[in-house]
Chains A and B, each alone.
Chain A
Amino acid sequence: MSMNRRSFLTSASVATGFGFPSIAASDEPVRFGLTPVFLTNDQMLVDGLRTYLANAMSRPVELVFRRTYEEITALLVAGDLDAAWICGYPYLRNEDKLALLAVPVWNQKPLYQSYLIAGAERDVSDLSQLKGDVHAYSDPDSNSGYIVTQSELVARDEDRNSFFGKTFFTFGHRNVLRAVASGLAQSGSIDGYVWEAVSATEPDLAAQTKVVWKSEWFGFPPIACRRSQLPTETVQSLQTALINISNTADGMAILEMLQLDGFTVGAENLFDDIRRRIEVLDAAI
């Protein structure tokens, strides 16, 4: 009922301010892209998020999934998506075209770490001990799942291409965890937030791995939009819906599933640490 009233009020205010075209625009679905940084294995979470956003924006919402960051980023830059939850690295790579819409808040901060994990039974406590491993990366465009480990190797004067015996991409942080837990990979590069979240939801799976090394803190993978689209009503209402997510019970349920505190409008310098990692890596190439 409250949703109906809110949708009515929103429609009324928009109609008052900008005239009738926005009423027609409200029938167009908002296309929101998601990458595997997100816990895409939980269908309940996906449905809940879509429902919440649609209700909050009084518009249909289409959640768009792609296997890689690259694909989602390409769609976003090309204007096929209104917004997308991407990683800090592709955001910085496309900084001229993209703008920050919101940044998740985890443990009261919009920050996360990159973890290096290995099989729980292994007696290792540092990256240097992982030499020669079969190593699982998350995604070539993932900060925590690739860039940090690569740049760390460069920083340690290791050959980033031959340090590990064999490497492969799983295109999902949870998949890195699965790969290491199953023994497919001996070690892996993973988003620290995902590892902690899985530890809470699937403790048996996470318990088969252990964290070998933790990076410095980085800006949390952000929700970005095209810079040119930032002022539009669609993007603004999406931002409002995200920022206000903790104000509703449905939103709180989603946050609980995501194990996040909420969303905030991130500062531009939030990703400076990632930028430094990129610089280290770029220097080596």
Chain B
Amino acid sequence: MRQSEYHWARPQSWPLTVRVPLIAALLLIFVAVIASERVLTRFSNIQDDNLRGVASVYLDSVSLALEPFILRQDIWGTFDTVDRARNAAGDLPVRALVATDNSDQIIAADDPMRFPTGTSAPSALIAAPSIDDLSLKYTETTVWTQKDVVYQGQLIGHVVTEIDVGNYLRQRREALWSLIIGNTLATILLAGAGYFLISRMMRQVQVLSQFMGSHEGDGLEEIPHSAFPAKRTEFASLFERYNKLVRAEAERRDIAQRLSDQAQLVSLGRLSSTLAHEINNPLGGLLNAVDTLRKFKDRPDVVEASTELLYRGLKNLRDVSKATLDFGRSNVQDHPLSKVDLDDLRLLIEPELARKNQTLDLTIGVDDDTLRVLPGAKVQQIILNLLLNGSAAAGEGGGIGLNVTTEEETLRIDVSDSGPGLSEAARHRLTVGSASKNGAGVGLRSVREITQGLGGGIEVADLPACGAKITITLPLQPKGGFVT
């Protein structure tokens, strides 16, 4: 959950605490826009109805009063009537009132200067909609409307009026602004409240996410009680369950470590008999050499040969005991892997191989600079376990192979044997399963634990002829690097 992961142009990358309130706000705005549109439309319809109603009543009475004058083409009577009707329009803001005959010639208007008597009515008057078709437009502050004047079923003229609708439009604008301001404030308020509430809710998720995200291969961290929500909420129990999980994981890791240590001891146990044999074998020779020295102490050539024999025998014993000591000590404090560690493996396994008349085909295709990023003891343990396992599988006179190479930032360890191949149970232990109850298979499980701990992978393949090949791949640049 680092800040650098967010980018303003990628809303998907925004934190939930921003996205969720934002979506809520957008929904609110959407609803507000729809609602405002409906309100304004309804309001406009009401205004249109109102205008039509008022204009209809007005023009009905005016046309009734004008009827006899229009019928007689009485200019003065018409003028006098429209002039008085114009002043008696009440709430209806009449801007002009014009009476025309049935051929659209103006008989008289309230403002004869604007609409002179005897002239043809301007097109705006002739095209004026009837009251039923009257509706307001936002762009026009005045509207024209007309009513036919009918006498005994005959059209004798028209009453045309211009109405100032500025007041209606002002009301519409005021309603629009009220809605905009009201909705904006409500949206801001609700979005703010939503942000606050959702942030509070999401904070717990964030805490959980942070603690879960902190896992970099070194184990999960428990959520401290100070970070728990104050009340016993679902999040509190979720945190509790998470902490239990973390504790369980820690226990699992601890058990795995102990298993690993146990496996090491098992390996040592298995080695101890061969070690005794290895020590015992040269001991006979060495004792013979001592006897020879006693017998021929005056013969310098014999003394030199026997001393050389003693030296080589003792040196061999020292190397074997040193390798055993190093291996036994390695679980306490690890060291960077080197070629010496791999050579030591030969020393450790050779007595076992010799006992079974087995051959080891060993190829080390890497240098110390490459190896040193890996923990020596852990890798040694992996290989030793695999070699011992291969040796056991290969049987009397069999052969095992160890091939250590690098491949694209990966250390590749191939251990092959000429045995009958890996049993299904062993394969399971190596890849997913657990050790059997009696401790058998601890070695293979230990290989899996350590390999996974180093971020590596395990592959098991059957060789074409016979036997099995186990391939361990270990990343050469593990996160954080290996530090002694």
Distance in angstroms from B70 CB to nearest chain A CB is: 13
CB distance A136 to B83 under 8 Å?
no
CB distance B117 to A169 under 8 Å?
no
Query: Does B9 interact with chain A (Cβ within 8 Å)?
Result: no
- Given A183-B112, A184-B108: A166 in contact with B117 (beta carbons within 8 A): yes
CB distance B74 to A168 under 8 Å?
yes
User: Chain A residues near B195 (CB, 8 Å)?
Assistant: none
User: Chain A residues near B118 (CB, 8 Å)?
Assistant: 134, 165-166
Tell me, in angstroms, the Cα distance from A182 to B113 when the chains sit together.
7
**Interface residues on chain A, number (Cβ under 8 Å):** 15
Looking at chain A's contact residues, is the secondary structure mostly helix, strand, loop, or mixed? mixed
Query: Does A85 interact with chain B (Cβ within 8 Å)?
Result: no
Nearest chain B residue, comparing its CB with the CB of A172: B76
User: Chain B residues near A165 (CB, 8 Å)?
Assistant: 118
Distance in angstroms from B68 CB to nearest chain A CB is: 12
CB distance B83 to A170 under 8 Å?
no
Contact-residue bracket for chain B: 10 to 19
CB distance A168 to B112 under 8 Å?
no
Chain B, 97-117, CB within 8 A of any chain A CB = 108, 111-113, 116-117
- Given A134-B118, A184-B108: A168 in contact with B83 (beta carbons within 8 A): no
Query: Does B48 interact with chain A (Cβ within 8 Å)?
Result: no
| Binary CB contact string for chain B from 65 to 84 against chain A (1 if under 8 A, 0 otherwise) | 00000000011100110010
- Given A134-B117, A184-B117: A169 in contact with B76 (beta carbons within 8 A): yes
CB distance B116 to A182 under 8 Å?
no
Query: Does A11 interact with chain B (Cβ within 8 Å)?
Result: no
User: Chain B residues near A166 (CB, 8 Å)?
Assistant: 75, 117-118
Tell me, in angstroms, the Cα distance from A56 to B183 when the chains sit together.
77
Tell me, in angstroms, the Cα distance from A170 to B111 when the chains sit together.
17
- Of B75, B76, B113, B116, most buried by chain A (CB within 10 Å of CB) is B76
Distance in angstroms from A251 CB to nearest chain B CB is: 32
CB distance B112 to A170 under 8 Å?
no
User: Chain A residues near B83 (CB, 8 Å)?
Assistant: 178, 182
CB distance A168 to B76 under 8 Å?
yes
Could you list 20 A-B pairs, sorted by A, with CB under 8 Å? A134-B117, A134-B118, A166-B75, A168-B75, A170-B80, A171-B76, A175-B80, A179-B79, A182-B79, A182-B83, A182-B112, A182-B113, A183-B111, A183-B113, A183-B116, A184-B75, A184-B108, A184-B112, A184-B117, A185-B112
New A-B contacts (19) at CB < 8 Å, excluding given A168-B75, A182-B113, A184-B112 = A134-B117, A165-B118, A166-B75, A166-B118, A168-B74, A168-B76, A170-B80, A175-B76, A178-B83, A179-B76, A179-B79, A182-B79, A182-B111, A183-B111, A183-B112, A183-B113, A183-B116, A184-B108, A185-B117
Q: Lowest 10 A-B CB distances belong to which pairs? A: A183-B113, A168-B75, A184-B112, A183-B112, A170-B76, A184-B79, A166-B118, A168-B76, A182-B112, A134-B117
